[in-house]
Amino acid sequence: MKTVVITGSARGLGFNMARFFREYNYNVVISDLKEENLIKAKEQLEQTKSEGKIVYKTCDVSKLNEIKELMQFTLENFETVDIWINNAGVNQPQKAIWELSENEINTIIDVDLKGAIYGSKVAMEEMSKNHKGAIYNIEGYGSNDAHMLGLNMYGTSKRAVTYLTESLAQEADERNTGVIVGKLSPGIMITDFTTHSLVNDSIELSDKTKKVYNILGDTPETVGKFLVDNMVKNTKNNVKINWLTNGKAFMRFLTAGFNKRDFFGK
Ligand SMILES: NC(=O)c1ccc[n+]([C@@H]2O[C@H](COP(=O)([O-])OP(=O)(O)OC[C@H]3O[C@@H](n4cnc5c(N)ncnc54)[C@H](O)[C@@H]3O)[C@@H](O)[C@H]2O)c1
């Protein structure tokens, strides 16, 4: 039986990917900051029938030792790790770069960028010993070089995550590790992330932003299923599993007049 580890998986995309991996009978390791949220998530995930087991462990991805402990915990419960997903992330407050405090800057970089670096390091060290496994990092706003005031520090991290992931894939090949590396590009999902910065501070979305999100956005269930369906069958290194392709975005705008979706209520 295969095993997947997903960081930041008590809610949102991580939680939904865990759910669909259970449908594929994977053993699933969920992890997040707070134990109480993981207990609730585990209970909910157990409602999805699976031959795989589900276990949880708290892990702050901005701390390398906690990621190492998450790996250790996984190997104590299961034989190997087949897929490792660096999913944990925080949004930023809607401020210009220079308006962010030292603490805000550190949190964004530590979680969104260093979390992916640490997770990639620990997963690659372990997987390359066994000459198999897959590591996925999550792209986001900025990965494709877009700019918007209020998202640029987050975008700085995600732009770097894209470079990191492509570099890791190149090094995985060059060192003949047998490990594959890929990017997951989830587009726009309506999650707590969309309406909160730095885990719990709420963000007031403008009507214009809500309109765009209603056209281009999706639930984390829809996106999670797509990403998992593609990860379980992927055997190639350096892939990008991309939900919101340019073609899909174009069609969404073209048909926006018929679109009655309203993620935010009146
Ligand atoms: N929601 C979107 O529109 C969107 C778009 C593109 C990319 N993404 C990315 O997708 C991923 C998941 O986002 P989501 O929308 O599900 O967000 P979410 O806020 O619903 O979930 C993120 C999870 O990460 C956890 N987390 C935060 N800091 C952590 C830390 N230091 N250590 C461990 N866990 C931590 C949170 O507790 C939460 O459970 C993130 O990497 C995000 O950047 C989101």
Q: Say if ligand 1 is within 6 A of residue 140 CB.
A: yes
Distance from the CA of 176 to the center of ligand 1, in angstroms? Answer: 31
- Residue 164: predicted pLDDT: 98
Q: Say if ligand 1 is within 6 A of residue 179 CB.
A: no
Select from 180, 178, 177 the least CA-distant residue to 169: 180
Would you say the pTM of this structure is higher than 0.85? yes
Q: Is 56 a catalytic residue?
A: no
- Fold observed for domain 3-206+218-245: Rossmann fold (3.40.50)
Distance from the CA of 21 to the center of ligand 1, in angstroms? Answer: 18
Burial class for 176, CB neighbours closer than 10 Å (0-12, 13-18, 19+): exposed
Select from 178, 141, 17 the least CA-distant residue to 85: 17
Q: Say if ligand 1 is within 6 A of residue 218 CB.
A: no
Closest ligand 1 atom number to CA of residue 217: 3
The secondary structure of residue 214, as a DSSP letter, is: H
**CA–CA dist 48, 19 (Å, integer):** 7
Beta strand spans in 24-82 (E):
27-32, 54-58
* Residue 199 CB-half CA count within 13 A: 11
Q: Is 142 in contact with 157 (CB distance < 8 Å)?
A: yes
Select from 106, 134, 129 the least CA-distant residue to 198: 106
Residue 207 in 3-state DSSP? helix
Q: Is 20 in contact with 229 (CB distance < 8 Å)?
A: yes
The secondary structure of residue 196, as a DSSP letter, is: E
> Could you read off the pLDDT tens digit of each residue along the chain, which spans 266 residues?
999 999 999 999 999 999 999 999 999 999 999 999 999 999 999 999 999 999 999 999 999 999 999 999 999 999 999 999 999 999 999 999 999 999 999 999 999 999 999 999 999 999 999 999 999 999 999 999 999 999 999 999 999 999 999 999 999 999 999 999 999 999 999 999 999 988 678 888 889 999 999 999 999 999 999 999 999 999 999 999 999 999 999 999 999 988 888 999 85
Residue 140 in 3-state DSSP? coil
Catalytic residue among 56, 118, 154, 213: 154
**CA–CA dist 54, 105 (Å, integer):** 34
- Record the tokens describing residue 152, joined without a space: 């640029």
